A and B are shown apart, each in its own frame.
Chain A
Amino acid sequence: MDKPCEKYSFEDINRYVDNELPQKTHNEIAGHYETCAPCRKLVADIRAIGSVFNRHIEQQVMGFDSDTLSDRVKEKLATGEKTVPGNIFGNTLGLFGKNIYLKLSGITAILIIGLAMLNGTVLTSLDLGSSGPSAIVSYVDTELPSVMIIETQKRKHTIIWFSEI
């Protein structure tokens, strides 16, 4: 292994290769490294590394297909997070994801189930009408001669009919 140059450091040579030194220092090193074997080798190595690096960058840039960029961006946006401006629920119900409709559906379901629990049955406030008679007669007390209990066919409407005669 060659003995390193005692006049200029690696950093000086590196900056020389990159043309970052003042003109006077640059000219001094240019005159020096022609006669200094370690510096000449160091300059050659730095330039070789630089050329390899630049070639790699060029390959990456050349391999970049600008036509597919917009497609990739659109795909990313489509699969990425959906944000809804003015979403008052924010991340409050993370359980339901970030879709506002899912959140609203979830809240509605919770409300319906909660109300049903309070009312004792799911159908209390959603009376569908046709299941069972409209009224169940549990007790009748009368001295009248006749009483009939009738249920209509169509809507199962309960009728109590009595005669006073």
Chain B
Amino acid sequence: MVNTIKTIVIFFGIYFLFVQSAAANDKVLTHVKVIHASTASHHIDPGLKNISSELQSVFKYTSYRLLKKKSMSLGFNQKGRVDLPGKRTLTVEPLNIDGNRIRYQINIRKNKKKIFQTKVLLKNNRSITIGGPQFKKGVLIFNISGSVQ
């Protein structure tokens, strides 16, 4: 009798764990960091050390300042919008899962006009950086990371 109860408890535990895991895969936690990079100083915000070390291996910028940070729990085909400096807006939209990657539609508008659209397959728990727009003697950089919940 005791063994039967134990068996039932264990299998129900495993079942609910799996169901919880499967049900939890319908949201994508998306973080967007808006960064101003320049050569004006040698300042790196504490929260940007990881990404700045990657960017410094490619670009000449010595200053990385976090202008804005936004976290969004998005369902698939749900758009998340981030207002950017210079009348720009960034829209991120998780479309689906492909293996261990999240397919994102990313759009940048300036003065309500689409200036850049891309689709990327972002690795779960990793990030992509999009940058280049000129801003205050430097450039704007957008770091977008996603993780399936």
Contact = CB atoms under 8 A, between A and B. Distances in A.
- Indicate the size class of the contact surface on chain A: 35 or more
Contacts of B6: 88-90, 92
Nearest to A165: B134
A135 B14 contact: no
- Indicate the size class of the contact surface on chain B: 35 or more
Interface of A: 88-93, 107, 110-111, 114-115, 118-121, 123-125, 127, 129, 132-144, 147, 150, 152-155, 157-165
B41 interface: no
Interface of B: 2-3, 6-7, 10, 14, 17-18, 21-22, 25, 51, 53-55, 57-58, 97, 99-101, 103, 110, 115-134, 148
Nearest to B134: A164
Given A90-B6, A137-B119, A152-B57, 20 more contacts: A88-B6, A90-B3, A110-B14, A115-B18, A121-B99, A124-B100, A135-B121, A136-B121, A142-B116, A142-B117, A143-B115, A150-B58, A157-B126, A157-B129, A158-B128, A160-B118, A160-B120, A160-B128, A162-B130, A164-B132
B118 A152 contact: no
B71 to A, nearest CB: 18
A110 B17 CA distance: 12
B126 A119 contact: no
B37 to A, nearest CB: 11
A111 to B, nearest CB: 7
A110 B15 CA distance: 12
A152 B51 CA distance: 11
Nearest to A139: B119
24 contacts: A90-B2, A92-B7, A115-B17, A118-B18, A119-B25, A119-B100, A124-B124, A133-B123, A134-B123, A134-B127, A135-B123, A135-B128, A137-B120, A138-B103, A138-B121, A142-B116, A152-B54, A157-B126, A158-B120, A158-B129, A159-B55, A159-B131, A164-B110, A164-B115
B120 A138 contact: yes
A146 B138 CA distance: 18
A3 to B, nearest CB: 65
A153 B99 CA distance: 23
A159 B3 contact: no
A136 B127 CA distance: 11
A83 B130 CA distance: 60
Contacts of B120: 135-138, 158, 160
Given A115-B18, A127-B123, A138-B120, A159 B129 contact: yes
